Structure 1
Amino acid sequence: MFGHLAHDPTAQIPSIKVPRAVPRPAPSDAIERGLQKATTRRDVLMILLGNYGGLRCHEIAALHSNDFHDGVLWITGKGGHRRIVPAHRLLVELLDLFPAGYYFPSELNPTGHYRPASISRRIRTLMPDGWSAHTLRHRFATEFFSRTPDLMALKDLLGHASVATTQIYTATSPSRLQAGVLSMPDLDAARSAAQKLRAIE
């Protein structure tokens, strides 16, 4: 009843190539518009935690005042793993304004704090169309790496288990690529050849 084929029926199925992931950092004007649209201190905090801390929505939602001391955020990431994220000076100023307890408290949830989906939805509401909490995380990663090209440090900051995941965030921006190419010196011979070709055409 259960026969076996002598050949592999999947051998002729073409493989599907997974597109190479590229970072999509939120631009500064989108963040400015999001902050301008903010109506509460918590709105501002959730955007800054993404932009200056690279935090995921579930990490923002569960952040507690006990997780912040001596200028450092202690983040509980995926799998319950703890990591440290030094707090940017603007975050320090803002966090000091909040009372003890969850930074995003909620009496509606048994956890006592916002659900990650609520953080995600609120940031999407504040930011212009197409930009989200995850694009804030992308911005943090690309900005950090452009200033401190230390892949292992970025891996630790983002809470990745594998450095391969971190590499997705480190692709060089088109503007930096352009700046690098345009900074290459002109060769006199190349300039002369270009002028000759222009004259011929």
Structure 2
Amino acid sequence: MLESFINYLEFEKRASAHTVLAYKKDLEQFTEFYLLSFEKEDISHAEHSEIRAWIVDLVEEDRSALTVNRKMATLRSFYKFLLRSGEISKDPTYKLKALKSPKRLPEFVQEEAMDKILDEMEYEADFDGQRDKMVMEFLYLTGVRLSELLELKWKDIDLYSESVKVFGKRKKERMIPLTNRLKKNIISYKKVFEETFSFVDQSDYFIVINSKEQAYPMKIYRIVKHYLDLFAQTTKRSPHLLRHTFATHLLNKGADLNAVKDLLGHANLAATQVYTHNSMEKLKAVFEQAHPKA
């Protein structure tokens, strides 16, 4: 049933490759624990007490509440799938309660640091340098996810209408406008792309490595980390940090929350509202500095 569940996630739910891999690893870990602790191999018929024993074991290993809650979510999805499929008659996870975890505000790069990365940084004129510049600019100026950037092709970019078509989670399509700055830099990047690879085919991936093959996640991580290391004062150095920065900077400048939600491709406002906390901190600082009764 594990294989059937993974296929369900991948082909019916259209979950991202990252999500599918995470669920698979969680279930493999529980299977190993189940075998070692109870000498049983088929987790399909695990009982509540056996599942809870794994949760306790994870907590005793000092796993974070966030990690444990994610693994519980994996089990809930798996047993709900079995219940719908008629494999089991009772969901053994229905009594599981999520662990309390401290609320963490998403980090973001300060505007001054982003200005230095995009305006003061001297990128190499060769393909690698201009590709790196495009990675940094595109992530920050569109707010796309890493997976969305990697899957982007030249045919998805419409310079005439100044927009880009992005396929988000569960292959949901959305359109993101291109700023004049980004449009201009895409044209420059395209010129270097053509000089390096002779031509640009519309089916080519937008971000590629030197062999013209699709860039891979770790490549983007290395690019982003390299440039953020130079200027950013954040503890994190990931592509997703630039997505957080995109949203926070928009809200700090007064952007409508619903508009930011649509740009990010969030299914509901709850996912977007986390960024308003950072904006609220800025508003509080302005209030305390400017209001005579603060």
Q: TM-score range by the shorter chain?
A: 0.7 to 0.9
Task: Give the RMSD, CA atoms, in angstroms.
Answer: 3.0
Q: Gaps (5+ residues) in structure 1?
A: 188-201
Residue 62 of structure 1 corresponds to: 151
Q: Secondary structure at the match of 1:73?
A: strand
Residue 292 of structure 2 corresponds to: 185
CA distance in 1, matches of 2:260, 2:290: 27
**Matched positions, count:** 178
Residue 63 of structure 1 deviates from its aligned partner by 1.9
Confirm or deny: 8 A CA contact 2:157 2:163 kept in the other structure: yes
Equivalences for 1:102-121 in 2 at 5 Å? Answer: 102-106=205-209, 112-121=213-222
Q: Deviations over 1:72-107 (max 9, x none)?
A: 111111211111111122110011121433221247
The verdict on how the C-alpha distance between 1:118 and 1:185 changes in structure 2, with shifts beyond 3 A counting, is: same
CA distance in 2, matches of 1:62, 1:32: 27
Residue 49 of structure 1 deviates from its aligned partner by 1.1
Residue 21 of structure 1 corresponds to: 104
More helix by percentage? 2
Q: Secondary structure at the match of 2:207?
A: coil
Confirm or deny: 8 A CA contact 2:252 2:282 kept in the other structure: no
The alignment status of 1:170 with 2:259, answered yes or no, reads: no
The verdict on how the C-alpha distance between 1:167 and 1:175 changes in structure 2, with shifts beyond 3 A counting, is: closer
Larger Rg: 1
Equivalences for 1:44-59 in 2 at 5 Å? Answer: 44-59=133-148
The one of the two structures with greater contact order (alpha-carbon pairs below 8 A, sep at least 6) is 1
The alignment status of 1:95 with 2:186, answered yes or no, reads: yes
Confirm or deny: 8 A CA contact 1:73 1:87 kept in the other structure: yes
The letter of the residue matching 1:51 is Y
The alignment status of 1:30 with 2:113, answered yes or no, reads: yes
Residue 16 of structure 1 deviates from its aligned partner by 3.4
Residue 162 of structure 1 deviates from its aligned partner by 2.4
The alignment status of 1:74 with 2:180, answered yes or no, reads: no
The letter of the residue matching 1:123 is V
Moved more, 75-84 or 166-175: 166-175
The letter of the residue matching 1:83 is R
Q: Deviations over 1:48-84 (max 9, x none)?
A: 1121111111222222221111101111112111111
Q: Gaps (5+ residues) in structure 2?
A: 1-48, 57-96, 195-199
Moved more, 132-141 or 173-182: 173-182
Q: Secondary structure at the match of 2:175?
A: strand
Residue 64 of structure 2 corresponds to: none
CA distance in 2, matches of 1:151, 1:74: 21
TM-score, with structure 2 as normaliser: 0.53
Q: Secondary structure at the match of 1:185?
A: coil
Q: Secondary structure at the match of 1:127?
A: helix
Residue 32 of structure 1 deviates from its aligned partner by 4.4
